Structures are given as C-alpha cells and as structure tokens.
Structure 1
C-alpha cells in the first residue's frame, strides 16, 4: 500500500537515494599493524618457506585431477545456448579454462609434497586413491569461483567446498605480476584444502584406500576372479548418491593374477605420465593468449559489474520516483503538487533511460569479453605406445587416446590369460 503522507514518503525516498549512493562509494584504507622486525629470522620463521608440516608416513596417496566441468548451462544432454548467451559465457574459452584450471590445481596439490603422484586426467575413469573433481561456476577475469569435491577410491565424497577469488583491478599495473596468473590464490586455496583433508586421514584409512584402488583396478580386468574381495553398493551422503566400494579382504601378495594386473596398471600410469607432458604443452601454448585475455578484459569485467550495479540502482530509484509522484498526485490537487508530480515523473523517466544506457554499456563490455575468448582449445598429437613388443598408435582427444590405450591393455590381458 502507498503511504498517504507525502512528506514521509519523500523523506523515505531521499534516505534510499542516499543509501544507494553510499553503496556506490566505499573507501579502502590501507592499515599497517604488523610489528616492526629486522635482522635474520626476525619473525621467528622463514617467510619464503611454504613446506607443509607432514606427519611421519610411508603411505603416499595418488591423486587424479580430472579436467574440470566447464559449467556450461545444459538442456538435457545439449548445451543451452540461449542461457549461455544470458550468462555471457564463451564456450571455447570456458572449455580451455576447464583444462587450465585442472593443471593449476594439480600443481598446487603437488606443491604440498604430501602426496604420491598427482596427475591431470581427461575424466574420472582412472585409477587413483583420491579424486579432485572441479566445476567452473564463474570466470570473467575479475572473479573466479570454483566448486571442488574430493572423492576417495571407495567412491565416498570426503568433502565439497566452493572457492572464490577477486582480482584487483590494479593487478596488472604492477610489473612484478607480469607472467603470473591472477587466479593463482584460488588454486593455492584448493591445494591447502586437499592437504587438510589428507591430514584428517589415519594411516590405516590411507592404507585401506591404497588397497581399495588396487582391488578395484583388478576387478575392472577380471570381475570373476576378484568379485569376492569387493562389495559394491549404492550409498548416500549429504543428499548425493554414489557407488560405494568396500573391501572384503585382500588377495595374497604373490597372487599371480594380481601381479600380472599390477604390470598392466603400471603401463596405464605410464600413459598418464606422458599425458602430463601434453597438458603442460597445452598450458604453455595458451599461457600468453590467456593472460592477455585476462589483462585486456579485466577492466571490461569491472566496468560490466559497475554498469550492472548502476543499472540496478537507477532502476530502483526510478521506480521510487514514480511511486512518489503517484503518491503526491493522490494526496493533493494543488498546482505545486501537480508540478512536483510532473517533475517526479520526468526525473524517473530520465533515471530509467540512464539505467537502459548502463545496460547498453554492459552489453558492449560483454561483447569485448566474448571476442577475446575465441581460439583457445586443446589438441593432442597422435602418439605411439608399446607394450610386450607390440605398438599401438593413439589418436584423437586425450580422453579418446586414454580409452584406446586402456582397451589395448585389457585386450593384452585377456590374450595372456586365455593362453595360460
């Protein structure tokens, strides 16, 4: 209901305008409260040391980081291009980011020096003790937001968390930042997050995960021979349904079939190791254009956000102006009130026009971001792998090459077992 007190309404309108204006301008004050310290080891620690304090352990878990989900809006199994346009997402850029972010996450996790192998893989269909599953929720060169879920080899999600980082609009003014990734802090946070989850695991739990990884791999090659060692069920945690794998026991260490499968597993890991070189080449080849995109579009992303805020604020003020003009008109027929009503209405029209113009500026900024996002994608060169004096040429995408190699290893296993 509109208030019948025009003065009260006008005062309310003024207060809201002042509040909106105040939200547009906040002052950032740099405070330096750190104590003064000089001389060797004045702080009691080496500021450059990033090594983690690790407990004594001989069990190092292997980590797989599948290429991130690019977070494209989907309509069933197809990309919803209308929603894609509304969200200002350039699909090729986002797919490239999905690979780049997986590589950066791998590097951050490996930097903790708390794990065994840490590998980027095309998807989660691989053997590992821990899986770090990432989704790109947002990325526009100013803000990056990721969702990360860590799953162990039993199939159970250990935890899930979202991470966000805002790049300062002055980041690229500092020459010391040249060649650096402005998103790096968010990957460091993810690395620390995975490290903390590791610290929560006991030695017995880690050994169980190692055993589960091995038996699951053996079960993949020979379900009949290893079915009694593995119980498979569907479980639920925090609303998520997942396949749960529980050990019923372990085959003997000298089991001939298990030893043969371990040889195959080492061959698969050899391919994964080679794949790391491919991802590193992709990362290096896209570093310059991607960082250029970040540098060029950062001010545009800031302008787009400010234009969006300006549009929303002016639209609200314009609407309030119409309400105030209507209230004044309903409460008096005097000439002064009529003038106030007309002035209020006209003022609101101009405010809404400004809001529309702000929206146009937003579209222009988004177009610049889209244009800069073209031309970044991953291509893998064919490669030749050899096992037991047999060569196989792999071609296609990373996922296709990986599946071809796994299929070849499985074929070799069945040929050997049938011969025996």
Structure 2
C-alpha cells in the first residue's frame, strides 16, 4: 500500500469506527428468558370474621391516547385495551381470592368508595412483550395504602405451553401486587381492620340515606379520611334495612363478576394467541429495525469512504475501489430501506391483530322480589342503573324521597322489598 492510500485509510478510520459503534449500539434485545415462578402468599390460618376485609378491584383505566399516531407508536389498539381493562382486573381478583387472605374479592365496574379495600390501576403498557401498571390501593377510611408502578417482561414459557390452560405470562406481576397488599394489611392491628369495616358499612348507608347516617361519620378534611363517631345499634331498623339493601348490591355485583369471569374465559384463548403473536411481531419488528439501521449506517460509511477515496486517489485502482465503495454503500442503504418496509409490514400486522379483537356485552336479566328487570348497555352501565334502582328500593321501603334520574325506555322500576336478613 502506497503512502497516499495509507493516508486515506487513516482518514476513513475515525468516521467508520463511529458509524460502526452507532450501528452496534442499536442491537439491544429484550430479555425474555423463562422466569422463576412467583405465587401469592397463602393464608396459614383462618382469619377472624371481624378482621376479614372485602376487596374491590376497579376495572382498569384503559389509558388510550386520542391521537391515532401516538396509539400506533405505542402499539395500543382500543379494542384490545377495552378487553384488557376487564381481563387484567379479573386476573388480579383471582390471584387475591386464591390466596385465602381476604373476604369477598370482586371486580367493581364503577368507582365505589364504600368498600373495605379498593385496588385501582392504569395500564401504562400492555403488549405480548411487556406489562406495566400504575397501581393505587386504599381503604374505606380514605387512607392510601400505597401507590406503585409494576412491570414485568413476559414469561415466554406460557406462549410455548399448548397443553391445557397456560399460566398467564404476567402472573408474577399479579402475585407481587397481591403480596404487597397483604404486607400492608399485616401492618394494621385488629382495631384498624374493624374500623375499616365499620366505615365501609356506614359510607354505603350514608350514600343512600345521608340524612339518616351522616351523624355517624366524621371527616378529617385536611387528611381526607373518615372516622367513626358512633355506631348505630345492631337492631336499628334503618341499619337492618341497609344491610338488606347492601346484600342485594353484593348479589348484583356477584352477577356482574360471573359475567366478567365468563367474558375472561371466552377471550382467554384468543387473547393468549394475540399476546403470543404480538410478542413475536415486536421481536421481528425490533430485529428488522435494528438490521435496517445497521445497513443504512454502514452503507453511508461506505459511500462516504468511497467519495473521500475518489477525491484523493489518482490511480485507476483507487478510483475503481472508490466507485465500488459508493455502489456498495448505495446498495446497503437501499437494503436498509427495504428492511424499513418490513418494519411497516410488522406494524400493520399488529394493527390487524388488534382490530380483529372484539368484545360484546349482553343485556343482564335480574330477578328481584318476584319481578324481572332487564338492564341494558355495558356491564358498567348496567351496574350504574342498578345503583339507581337501589335508591328507589330504599324509597319504597321507607317512604322517604330519594332523587333519581328518569327510568330509561325498556327498564323496569325497582319493586318493593320484603323483610329479610342479609349478611356481609
């Protein structure tokens, strides 16, 4: 090699090395190795009834951006997110219930503050590759137990399990959340747990009949918390009525949860497949993108090198090498853009998978006091209508006025209730 060629080579070394480093820096892959399986801590002994807290898992916040381009960039498909808001809430509910650490655990379709413990979550990211949630847990007194973000890469063993019902690829996240909730409950003494239960009961009663139950509860406006000022007698007729009404509310919630459970079972196979395909598409998308970036950078380096060599070499061999470098670089850049087209193909595939996913809600028929009520709309709308009917039920039982919205077409008014007991 003559002196001029060595000089050109040294001048090319620096930009080529920089471009090579830039290309290699994009080659970062997701770690999706099989993970150690984590389970929710099981109850070792029976918990006293007075300390057994019921839990409401609020339907998750779908967190769907209005901007379509942002949705595509973040791989968010509204139909999928709508289904996930129910599905993920049910997975948390099933994990909590399976631990035996709590009373009744239900998915609640509307924001209900009159619950012993409430779990709320926003979906930050949900693909077949990653699940991220922002979770808030609080209780009926208004005290926030904790706010925390959870994330987990998918356990890919679940995607390879084709026998029976595979374990959810993000079950470790649900178990971690369940254990965190349990850890906070274990910091409370028996008196704290009983207070939570009493406040929950009184807040429900006050919501339906504020004039009758307002005086039993006090509030700390600075802290935003509730405390029991006094308790009504256990045989107070008003409280007995409220217990019966709350029992009916629980019965309807149980019906709603049966609907969610059926919905979850019906979508499980399709959703697992969607997650599996989503995982594979994201891997292929990222790999194609890395390959496209690498080819474009190295192609650009070859073109730059060829041009520099051509301007500084006066020999036939040098000119030929320069021309070859330019053409080779141009081909590499074109190859990179071809890979870019493959990236778009995978993105379109993900979009089609999402758009093909649908969820339908059937009208709910409820039997109350020998009357049949048909509640229409989504499960959430049906439960809101039911709460309105509960207030009418209280009006019918007490003769006291309760302001309600007009009954929608096709919906029956709430019937008069008979006497009867009810338990929590």
How does the TM-score come out when normalised to structure 2?
0.77
- 3-state SS, counterpart of residue 377 of structure 2: coil
Partner of 1:120: 107
Q: 2:374 is paired with a residue of what secondary structure?
A: strand
What does 1:19-418 correspond to in 2, within 5 Å? 20-21=23-24, 24=27, 51-53=42-44, 57-58=48-49, 59-73=51-65, 79-125=66-112, 127-167=114-154, 171-176=158-163, 179-232=166-219, 244-254=224-234, 255-312=236-293, 334-335=312-313, 349-373=330-354, 374-387=356-369, 389-418=370-399
In 2, the alpha carbon distance for the partners of 1:339 and 1:155 equals: 78
Which has the larger displacement, 353-362 or 407-416? 353-362
SS of alignment partner, residue 111 of structure 1: helix
Shift of 1:266: 1.1
Tell me, in whole angstroms, the C-alpha distance in 1 between the residues paired with 2:212 and 2:247. 20
CA change 1:346–1:69 in 2 (3 A) is: farther
Structure 2: state its 5+ residue gaps.
Answer: 1-7, 402-424
Cα distance in 2 between the residues matched to 1:346 and 1:124: 64
**Is the Cα contact below 8 Å between 1:136 and 1:147 reproduced in 2?**
yes
Unaligned ranges ≥5, structure 1: 32-46, 74-78, 237-243
CA-CA distance at 1:365 after TM superposition: 1.4
Residues 60 and 116 of structure 1 are in contact (CA less than 8 Å); yes or no, is this contact kept in structure 2? yes
The whole-number CA distance in structure 1 between the counterparts of 2:29 and 2:283 is: 15
Q: Residue 162 of structure 1: CA displacement?
A: 2.1
Deviations 1:212-234 (A, max 9, x none): 21121111012222223334566
For 1:285 and 1:413, the matched residues in 2 are separated by 37
CA distance in 2, matches of 1:300, 1:50: 35
CA shift at 1:173, angstroms?
3.6
Distance 1:323 1:108 in 2: 59
Greater mean deviation of Cα atoms: 271-280 or 310-319: 310-319
Write the distance in 2 (CA, Å) between the matches of 1:410 and 1:172. Answer: 47
Separation (CA, whole Å) in 2 of partners of 1:82 and 1:15: 32
Residue pair 1:10, 1:324 contacting (<8 A) in 2 also: no
Q: Which moved more, 1:351-360 or 1:220-229?
A: 351-360
Query: Which shifted more, 398-407 or 11-20?
Result: 11-20
